[in-house]
A = this chain, B = another copy of it.
Amino acid sequence: MRRNPERRQALIDAAIEVLAKEGARGLTFRAVDAEAAVPPGTASNYFANRDDLFTQVGGRIYERLLPDEATIARSREGVQDETRYAELMHELVDRVSAFNSGYLALLELRLESTRRPELRAVLTKRIREDIDANVGHHAASGLPGDSTSVVLLYLALNWLIVERLTLPDIFTEQEVHELVDAAVRRSLNA
């Protein structure tokens, strides 16, 4: 197996674009080579099989969805109240929506995981860890609310992003904004 880490990453990033554009069935080594503009046969030197490619794509999307250091540092500044919580959630929804292809690819992976037990195990572990990390960060942050608030926001905002990316005319931008505010405000009320 080839080991150039930059090349591997470029291939995985290309695979994300293929998944978003063509769906899970369209994710072939050949399509990845074409998307990455590398010689035919390259991807097959980097991944043992399609299962391996699918699981590496899952990990990479999560890596790219994480906020950068500057964003994390900024999120810890200022008063940690309900207004601040809402600001952070607006930023989150915008950041995730901006990585359009990544989020659509993640939905494709979820659907594909109903057919691939190995992928399902990897995604389950990754997403459960992500939820637990969010609950942990929240507890340490001084923001209002409890662990249930965090999970309810996770649920509501995920579907709001699905709506925005797949059927963008269901809610106006103004409605999206108001729904994020309302989701924060009401999820905090125990």
A167 and B110 contact, CB distance less than 8 A: yes
Nearest-neighbour CB distance to chain B for A156, whole angstroms, equals 4
Whether A166 and B23, one on each chain, are in contact in the complex, defined by CB atoms closer than 8 angstroms, is no
Known: A179-B155, A186-B152. A167 touches B120 (CB 8 A): yes
Give bound CA distance, A162 to B163, whole Å: 13
Q: Which residues of A contact B (CB under 8 A)?
A: 20-26, 104, 107-108, 110-115, 120, 123-124, 127-128, 131, 148-149, 151-152, 154-160, 162-163, 165-167, 169-170, 178-179, 182-183, 186-190
Additional A-B contact list (14), CB under 8 Å, known A23-B25, A159-B162, A186-B187: A22-B25, A23-B111, A25-B25, A110-B166, A114-B166, A123-B167, A124-B167, A154-B159, A155-B156, A155-B157, A155-B160, A155-B179, A162-B162, A186-B188
